[in-house]
Chains A and B, each alone.
Chain A
Amino acid sequence: MEEALLGIREVSKHFGGVYAVNGVSLDIKSGSIWGLVGPNGSGKTTLFNTVFGIHRPDEGAIYFNGNCISNLAPHQIYALGLVNAFQIPRLFSKLTVLDNMLVAARGHQGDGLLNSLFLRKSWQEQEAELADKAMEILELLELDHLALSSAGELSGGQRKLLEIGRGLMASPTLLLLDEPAAGVNPNLGRRIFEGIERLRQTMGLSFFIIEHRLEILFDFAHWVYVMDRGKIVIEGKPEEVVAAPVFYQVYLGE
């Protein structure tokens, strides 16, 4: 069996006395789309935030590509190729849509103070390539016509798309997406997932996705984890999960 890309081992995170995540272990392997579902408040987003270093796990360990990332800061985890797109978009409102994308680029030579000031030739070509790439992603997300508008002028759904776009811009190995299809129109929600599938096939990206729109997620995910009250209650292929009684108990509270 190949080694997991992301390994979560017995991770717990509590706030005061409440265990938001309680002893979760799971594996994400390379090249697939992994789903994480569960009712509101079941700890999905907390798990993502813990993986991405916004919270530190109280117990357990997290491995990415063989490195232990439990105690790294978000920017260090990002540098390893694990990127997170927030559930509620956190855009740079006064920057243009294009600049929001370009900030996310990984390993831009011009990001350094001295390079930006004195070695301007060293990053001009990269800047142009990244602009091309940003526009390709924006086209996929149907935001290309807004590239030079401020991100603050976007509608709610467009913000959501830009948040995902920024995640893609980093060319991650694994992208964590928190409800990518929430708050966008039904057609676009599905098209986002088609785009995700295309990126998976062409660029070999892996995705770990929280999504309440199960009818879309289950068409694309290869493996689904179901979380309830901080724990993984069932996992399996979408059709297996759908057939399991515990899944209905969790969602419908029967």
Chain B
Amino acid sequence: MDPLLYVFDLIVFIGIFSIVSLSLNLEFGFAGLANFGKVAFFLIGAYTYALLSQVGVPFYLCLVAGALISAIFGLVISLPALRLREDYLAIAILAFGEILRLIVKSEDWLAGGDWGVTVSPAISLVGASHRVDALINIALVYLCLFICFLVVQLLTNSPYGRVVRAIREDEVAAEALGKDKSKYKAQALMLGSAMTGIAGGLYAQYLQCVLPGMFMPMITFTVWIMVLLGGPANNWGALLGACLVEIFDRGTNIAKDYLTLPIDPSNLQYILFGALIIVVLLYRPQGLLKETQVRTKAMEMVRRGRSAVRNKGS
């Protein structure tokens, strides 16, 4: 295989999973929602994209529809889920993801069952080489990533982001200060799901197919590792985590071909992921990058004001 194509492929994967990682960071890092059903929304986005593009809907509308339908599912699941305690929420959403996967797997009429659906690429130039195709994909994925990053970056450095973080820190106190916690949590889950839906659509069109086997719970856990490793409540951390985990994933995939081990080498990756997460949680629970403060005009003012006061004092 063309080594450059391999690198391009890696870049596309990093881009797609960066979007998912950013969205989980919004839900978990900032809003404190333990969403263990990321793959469900990823699946919804991918299947929405696949089914709509089959009937000839243009790719950008497929992406938007994937985001919207994911968001609606996010809202629907938030209604019962947000009444649950954090750990039960995690279990409930985890089950939701598996149920959804089994539904698309067994209901052949819906999306081809086990055979899945083939998807045509979003933009195909006549006579373009694989490399050009890959570059087009990179451009598309990173445009979406840029928009998503802008959205979360603006949101988390705004009064909204402040309230969401406050709810994460202490729900009772946030409610006592007039914040409707259910509304904020539902919004965060909706927005996170919408972003994951976009990533799912990009995934479907890049791989040019959707199969139930592509949406195993391991995807959810991989994204969790990205967020925990990079640093919850830091958007740059989410990007860094996605980058490192994808490279690690590829690295172990290549390494296992050259290693003789007493165990099945394809399990090596899972073992190392498990070890990695334990090491991170034990020795650097805040992740590689620390939580960033809420950067707004208020903070800038006070920062400037403080230095002014200090100068006066001296």
Give the B-binding residues of A (Cβ under 8 A): 52, 54, 73-75, 78-79, 83-84, 86, 90-96, 98-100, 102-104, 106, 108-113, 115-117, 120, 123-124, 127-128, 130-132, 134-135, 145, 147-148, 166, 170
List A contacts of B170 (CB < 8 A). Answer: 90-92
- Asked whether any CB of chain A lies closer than 8 Å to the CB of B101, the reply is no
Question: CA of A58 to CA of B298 in the docked complex: distance in angstroms?
Answer: 43
Partner of B178, one of A79, A91, A132: A79
Partner of A135, one of B161, B233, B296, B305: B305
Query: Is A103 a contact of B174 with CB atoms below 8 Å?
Result: yes
Partner of A78, one of B162, B176, B293, B306: B176
Question: CA of A79 to CA of B178 in the docked complex: distance in angstroms?
Answer: 6
Partner of A166, one of B165, B177, B233: B177
| Segment at the interface with A among B109-117, B151-159, B274-282 | B151-159
Question: CA of A170 to CA of B290 in the docked complex: distance in angstroms?
Answer: 30
Give the A-binding residues of B (Cβ under 8 A): 151, 154-155, 158-163, 165-166, 169-170, 172-181, 187, 191, 233, 291, 293-294, 296-299, 301-303, 305-306
Query: Is A75 a contact of B180 with CB atoms below 8 Å?
Result: yes
Partner of A116, one of B161, B298, B306: B161
Give 8 A-B pairs besides A92-B173, A108-B159, A111-B160 with Cβ atoms closer than 8 angstroms.
A75-B179, A78-B178, A94-B233, A96-B299, A102-B162, A104-B178, A116-B161, A127-B159
Query: Is B163 a contact of A111 with CB atoms below 8 Å?
Result: yes
Partner of B297, one of A91, A95, A115, A124: A124
Question: CA of A90 to CA of B178 in the docked complex: distance in angstroms?
Answer: 14
Q: How far is the CB of A102 from chain B (nearest CB, A)?
A: 6
Question: CA of A123 to CA of B157 in the docked complex: distance in angstroms?
Answer: 13
Query: Is B162 a contact of A90 with CB atoms below 8 Å?
Result: no
List A contacts of B178 (CB < 8 A). Answer: 74-75, 78-79, 104, 106, 170
Question: CA of A166 to CA of B291 in the docked complex: distance in angstroms?
Answer: 23
Question: CA of A113 to CA of B163 in the docked complex: distance in angstroms?
Answer: 10
Query: Is B169 a contact of A93 with CB atoms below 8 Å?
Result: yes
| Closest A residue to B290 using CB positions | A94
Query: Is B159 a contact of A116 with CB atoms below 8 Å?
Result: yes
Query: Is B176 a contact of A86 with CB atoms below 8 Å?
Result: yes
| Closest A residue to B187 using CB positions | A113
Partner of A86, one of B173, B179, B296: B173
**A54-B176, A135-B302 known; A95 vs B160 contact (CB < 8 Å):** no
Query: Is B165 a contact of A127 with CB atoms below 8 Å?
Result: no
Q: How far is the CB of B310 from chain A (nearest CB, A)?
A: 9
**A113-B191, A131-B298 known; A120 vs B176 contact (CB < 8 Å):** no
Query: Is A96 a contact of B169 with CB atoms below 8 Å?
Result: no
Query: Is B154 a contact of A120 with CB atoms below 8 Å?
Result: yes
| Closest A residue to B174 using CB positions | A103
Most buried by A among B159, B296, B297: B159
Ranked nearest first, the 9 interchain pairs of A and B with the lowest CB-CB distance are: A110-B159, A131-B298, A116-B160, A78-B178, A90-B173, A116-B158, A92-B169, A103-B166, A92-B166
Query: Is A117 a contact of B177 with CB atoms below 8 Å?
Result: no
List B contacts of A95 (CB < 8 A). Answer: 162, 165-166, 169, 293-294
Partner of A128, one of B158, B172, B301: B301
Query: Is A128 a contact of B298 with CB atoms below 8 Å?
Result: yes
Query: Is B160 a contact of A117 with CB atoms below 8 Å?
Result: yes
Most buried by B among A52, A74, A120, A145: A74
Q: How far is the CB of B293 from chain A (nearest CB, A)?
A: 6
| Closest A residue to B191 using CB positions | A113
Question: CA of A129 to CA of B218 in the docked complex: distance in angstroms?
Answer: 48
Query: Is B158 a contact of A120 with CB atoms below 8 Å?
Result: yes
Question: CA of A66 to CA of B254 in the docked complex: distance in angstroms?
Answer: 72
Query: Is B187 a contact of A99 with CB atoms below 8 Å?
Result: no
| Closest A residue to B302 using CB positions | A147
| Closest B residue to A169 using CB positions | B177
List B contacts of A116 (CB < 8 A). Answer: 154-155, 158-161
Query: Is B176 a contact of A52 with CB atoms below 8 Å?
Result: yes
List A contacts of B305 (CB < 8 A). Answer: 135
List A contacts of B298 (CB < 8 A). Answer: 98, 102, 127-128, 130-131, 134
Q: How far is the CB of A210 from chain B (nearest CB, A)?
A: 16
List A contacts of B187 (CB < 8 A). Answer: 113
List B contacts of A99 (CB < 8 A). Answer: 162, 165-166, 293-294, 299
List A contacts of B177 (CB < 8 A). Answer: 75, 78, 83, 103-104, 166, 170
List A contacts of B293 (CB < 8 A). Answer: 95-96, 99, 148
List A contacts of B191 (CB < 8 A). Answer: 113
Query: Is A103 a contact of B302 with CB atoms below 8 Å?
Result: no
| Closest A residue to B305 using CB positions | A135
15 contacting pairs across A/B (C-beta < 8 A): A79-B178, A92-B174, A95-B169, A95-B294, A98-B302, A99-B293, A102-B162, A110-B160, A116-B158, A117-B154, A117-B155, A134-B298, A135-B305, A147-B306, A170-B178
